[in-house]
Amino acid sequence: MFDRVLIANRGEIALRVIRACKELGVATVAVYSDADRDAAHVTAADEAFRIGPPPAAQSYLDFDAIVDAAKRAGADAIHPGYGFLAENAAFARRCDDEKLAFIGPSARLIEMMGDKVAARNAARKAGMPIVPGTTEPVRSPEEAKRLAKTIGYPLAVKAAAGGGGKGLKVARDAKEVEQAFSLAVKEAATYFKDGTVYLERYLARPKHVEVQVLGDKHGNAVQVGERDCSLQRRHQKLVEETPAMIGDGVRQRLLDAALGLTKTIRYDSAGTIECLVAGDEFFFLEMNTRIQVEHTITEAVFGLDLVKAQIRVAAGESLWFSQGDLAPRGHAIECRINAESPAANFRPSAGRIDAFVPSAGPGIRVDAAAYPGWVIPQEYDSLLAKLIAWGEDREEARRRMLRALGEFVVRGVDTTIPLFDLLLEDERFVRGDYATPDVESFVDRHKERIAAHVAERSSPATAGTVGEKSAEPDKGRTVTVEVNGKRFDVRVFGDGPGSTSARTRAPRFKTPKKIATDGDRVTAPMHGIVADIKIAPGESVRDGQVVAIVEAMKMMNEIVAHREGIVKSVDARVGDTLETGASILTFE
């Protein structure tokens, strides 16, 4: 087993890995950017090292900074969590070169299955059906239009190096191909430094079902059930459950095929094989060569700690159980509590958390790194917490989740909790008869109900609020200092920077107000960075046309014109940081 593991990530997944390491008797090292100095994972680890400024490219994606921190800390392994470097073959090779164990699959497997074109070929060779589409990269919109005549519409343009919905755009007909192709390439290049794309038939209403797999370095492998991840917005998962609401026949064929692929490629870590299920058919979609956000519900029904298993097999252990030893029990549901406003097209809501009171009770698990007084950085994703409910059957899990959602208190920022309150009561969810597009259609149908419920859940907090000075005697406080980039905690007494009284004076974050429509301008609906400008002065713009792309909390947001007109001036440039309400263009 390893002596000391560095976690090259942040947030709740960093905490999750730290906890697994502690149970294994392994020391932990956290890394943090300047935006994360006060993050929960920093204080939870045995040691913590600063790795750079807030932009991920200068901190959490900086190979040199992370390797340097690992060496300074004396770590012998690195766990990448999910996102950031988790599926980066070059980083896995760098770890090998530096004699640091990479807690994940081999660089060869990351490279092969991370390239969606190569992964489709691997699945096809292993006998797993794939969605109709190309098995080679597509180089231009013209080529995409030609191939679409055979593949058919709607057409998905997908990043070959992508995942998590990034670099995926849909063209409903030939007129939309050029825009979808351009946006997919740009998003792929931004997130994965690789603009290669391929094409797939976009299945209009499938279920998104993934199979959890686990392999070791000795050729052993198991499948650990499937999860239904169909409830998404912008191709990002919101609600997951296991077992999936599919027929037993297709379930068994899907599990057998996923295990066959895992064994064929000799997969040697935790991973997931994602598929689309339509009726009695299923198609391979992609493989995620990492631990998934939603691994929690599989753990709930199988009683297996997947993160500890991932660490143990990375240390060279053989699997200590066989397929026959795995027996699921009950049903589990996960809701992702994101700092987003479901009443405002899921607009990111960065800022200060005034109150944070997680749910508790039988069958409830909360994985979170948020706390009262924490300021959510706008540079990273919007996930605040994962709420997991387990029950003896699906209905108990659903009702338990509704109870837990009612208990969960977050004040100061908008969250997705009000949406889940309503979504889990929707008849389609109650029946289990839902598919990938249904969250967005539900939001469209119930905008007023959602807005009213958001307002109701946003009333002033009565518990967990930061702001009242205690009358208790001064018992001292911990102040964090940095010496040569390494974090230390020092206990001090009396008022001053870092004291409770100083913290209570921090200004309360106010969520952005809705911007009134200005007939002469298109304005930014959220704080973010301009990723693309798609118009120029003098151009004619139609109502609903995409005029810019703004990146906010790792999401690409299409900014559309609210009317037609001639562009008088473009008021923002690529790379500009915009505040809510800032002008993007002005009409004549």
Chain segment 117-127, per-residue pLDDT in tens: 899 899 999 99
pLDDT at 401 over 70: yes
Residues 241 and 316 in one domain: yes
In the predicted structure, residue 50 carries a pLDDT above the cut 70: yes
> 353 and 237 in one domain?
yes
- In this structure, the answer to whether residues 396 and 425 fall within a common structural domain is yes
What's 178's domain CATH number?
A: 3.30.1490.20
Q: Kindly indicate the confidence band of residue 471, based on its pLDDT and cuts at 50, 70 and 90.
A: very low
Residue 506 covered by a domain: no
Q: What is the average per-residue pLDDT within 187-212?
A: 88
How does residue 503 score in pLDDT terms, banded at 50, 70 and 90?
very low
Q: What is the pLDDT of residue 494?
A: 53
**Residue 392 and residue 323 in one domain:** yes
| Domain assignment present for 113 | no
Query: Mind listing the pLDDT tens digit for each residue in 130-149?
Result: 988 887 899 999 999 999 99
Of 201, 227, 246, the residue at which a domain comes to its end is: 201
Span 171-179, average pLDDT? 93
Least confident of 39-53, 384-398, 462-476, 479-493: 462-476
We report the CATH number of the domain holding residue 298 as 3.30.470.20
CA–CA dist 548, 574 (Å, integer) = 9
In a domain, 547, yes or no: yes
Q: Over 50: is that where the pLDDT of 516 sits?
A: no
The answer on 49 and 99 residing in a single domain is yes
One domain for residues 146 and 250 = no
- pLDDT mean across residues, the chain: 88
433/284 same-domain check: yes
pLDDT tens digits, one per residue of 66-116:
999 999 999 999 999 999 999 999 999 999 999 999 999 999 999 999 988
Q: Is 503 a member of any domain? A: no
Q: How many CB atoms lie within 10 A of CB 471?
A: 5
Mean pLDDT of 265-290: 94
Taking the whole predicted model, whether its pTM rises above 0.95 is answered as no
Predicted confidence (pLDDT) per residue in 307-354, tens digit: 999 999 999 999 999 999 999 999 999 999 999 988 888 888 888 999
> Would you say 354 and 411 are in contact if contact means Cβ atoms under 8 Å apart?
yes
pLDDT at 506 over 50: no
Q: Provide the number of structural domains found in the chain.
A: 4
Q: Show Cβ contacts of residue 190 under 8 Å, excluding neighbours closer than 6 positions.
A: 531, 551, 556
If asked whether residues 167 and 227 sit together in one domain, one would say: no
CATH number reported for the structural domain that contains residue 73 in this entry: 3.40.50.20
Same domain assignment for residues 82 and 162: no
Taking alpha carbons only, the member of 52, 73, 76, 75 closest to residue 63 is 52
Identify whether 26 is part of a domain.
Answer: yes
Closest to 17 in 3D by CA, of 40, 34, 51, 33: 40
Q: Would you say residue 516 lies in a domain?
A: no
Domain end position, chosen among 201, 219, 250: 201
The residue assigned the tokens 């351009």 is 182
Is 409 a member of any domain? yes
Asked whether residue 155 carries a pLDDT value surpassing 90, the answer given is yes
**What is the spatial distance between Cα 102 and Cα 92, in angstroms, rounded to a whole number?**
6
3-state secondary structure 157-189: EEEEEEECCEEEEEECCHHHHHHHHHHHHHHHH
Which among 423, 449, 418, 415 is positioned nearest to 239, based on CA atoms?
A: 423
500, pLDDT greater than 60:
no
Give the domain CATH number at 533.
Answer: 2.40.50.100
Residues 490 and 548: their CA atoms lie apart, in Å, by 47
pLDDT at position 402 over 90:
yes
The verdict on residue 287 lying in a domain is yes
